[in-house]
Amino acid sequence: MATPSKSGFKWHIVVFLAPAVIVYTAVMIYPLFATLRLSFYSEVEQERIWVGLQNFATLFGDAIWSEQFWNALGNNAWFFLIHMLVQNPIGIALAAILSSPKLRFSAFYRSAIFIPTILSFVIVGFAWKLILSPIWGIAPDMLDAIGLKFLYQPWLGKEEYALTTLSLVSVWQFVGIPMMLIYAALLSIPDEILEAGECDGITGLSAFFKIKLPLILPSIGIISVLTFVANFNAFDLIYAAQGALAGPDFSTDILGTFMYRTFFGFQLQLGDPHMGSTIASAMFGIILIGVCIYLFGIQRRLRNYQF
C-alpha cells in the first residue's frame, strides 16, 4: 500500500479516477436516470409536462398498448426460456466433452464452435434468413436428402414458428459463451476431488452428474443471469432478420423492438420519447428483478458449494 503523503489533499487520486467517473456518469448513469424520469412526463402542445404515472397507466391499461406490451413480454419470456433450455444445456454438454483429458484437437473445436459468437447479428440474421428461405431451397433440399422434406416450413414467415426459429438462431450464435465459461469452471476443479471419486468407483457420466455438476453450479448461475440480461435487452437479431415491425404480425416482437418502434416511430406511428422511456423503465424493472433474484436468491445458496 502507498505510504500516505501527509502533505494535504491527494490530487493524484482524483486525477486517476476523474476521466472514468466523468464519462461513466455522464454517458451511462445520468441518462439512465434521465430516461426513468422521462417516463413520468408527456408532451402536450409541444411542452413537456409532468403526468405522474399516467404513461404507465397507458402502457398497462390501454387496450392497444397493453396488448403490445404483454405480447412483447411474453415473446421475450419464450425467447429466454429457449435459451435456458437449449443453449445452456448444449453449452454445458460441449464443455464437458471438451474438458475430458487427453482429447485431441480440443483447441480447434473450441475455436471453431466459438466463431458464430463473434459474427454480427446482421450477418447471422441474414445468413439464416437466406438458408431457411424457400426461394433458395438449401433447407428443404437438405431435409429432402434425408427423406424429411415434409417437415419443411418457411419457418421465419409463419407466425407460429418464427419466434422459436429466431430463438434457435440466437442459440446457435451464442452457444460458445456458456461453453467457454463452463469449460473454464470444469478445468478449475481440483484433480484430487475427481481422483477421490474414481477410488470410490465414480467415473464417466456419473462422475459428471455427481461431482462436477454440483461444483459448477455457481458458473451456471452466472450464465443464467447473463443470459437473462442479454435476452431482455435483445434487439439486433430480430431487427436484422424481421425488421422493426418484428413480423409476421408482431409474432417476433420483443421488448427491444417494441421500445425501438415506440421511441423512434415507424410508418404511420410517430415516435414518442416518453412512451419509449416508459417501456425502457419497464425493461429496467424486469432486469433489476432478475438480477436481484440472482444476487439474493440464487447466488447465496450456490456459494455453499464452493471450495
Q: Which of residues 98-157 bind other proteins (CB under 8 A)?
A: 98, 100-103, 105, 107, 109-124, 126-128, 130-131, 136-138, 141
Q: Are 250 and 68 in contact (CB under 8 A)?
A: yes
- Contact pattern from residue 82 through residue 101 relative to other proteins, giving x for each residue in contact according to CB under 8 A and a dash for the rest: --------x--xx--xx-xx
The C-alpha cell at 5 is 503523503
Nearer CB in complex with other proteins: 48/158: 48
Identify residues 27-66 at the interface with other proteins (CB under 8 A). Answer: 27-32, 34-35, 38
Q: Where does residue 201 fall: left (phi above 0), alpha (psi -120 to 50 degrees), or beta otherwise?
A: left
Identify residues 158-217 at the interface with other proteins (CB under 8 A). Answer: 172, 175-176, 180-181, 183-184, 187-188, 191, 194-195, 198, 203-204
Closest by CA to 237, choosing from 126, 139, 156, is 126
Q: What is the DSSP string of 240-297?
A: HHHTTTTTTTTTT--HHHHHHHHHHEETTEEP-HHHHHHHHHHHHHHHHHHHHIIIII
Nearer CB in complex with other proteins: 63/205: 205
Q: Provide, rounded to whole angstroms, the least separation between the CB of residue 45 and other proteins.
A: 19
- Grid cell 424429411 — which residue? 148
Q: Provide, rounded to whole angstroms, the least separation between the CB of residue 159 and other proteins.
A: 21
Q: Provide, rounded to whole angstroms, the least separation between the CB of residue 34 and other proteins.
A: 4
Nearer CB in complex with other proteins: 81/123: 123
Q: Which one among 60, 213, 284, 293 touches other proteins, defined by CB under 8 A?
A: 284
Nearer CB in complex with other proteins: 110/213: 110
Q: Are 238 and 256 in contact (CB under 8 A)?
A: yes
Nearer CB in complex with other proteins: 85/131: 131
Q: Which one among 75, 167, 252, 277 touches other proteins, defined by CB under 8 A?
A: 277
Nearer CB in complex with other proteins: 250/294: 294
Asked if 299 interacts with other proteins (CB under 8 A), we say: no
Identify residues 239-258 at the interface with other proteins (CB under 8 A). Answer: 239-240, 256
Q: Provide, rounded to whole angstroms, the least separation between the CB of residue 148 and other proteins.
A: 16
- Contact pattern from residue 216 through residue 235 relative to other proteins, giving x for each residue in contact according to CB under 8 A and a dash for the rest: ---x--x--x---x---x-x
Q: Provide, rounded to whole angstroms, the least separation between the CB of residue 285 and other proteins.
A: 10
Nearer CB in complex with other proteins: 24/209: 24
Asked if 266 interacts with other proteins (CB under 8 A), we say: no
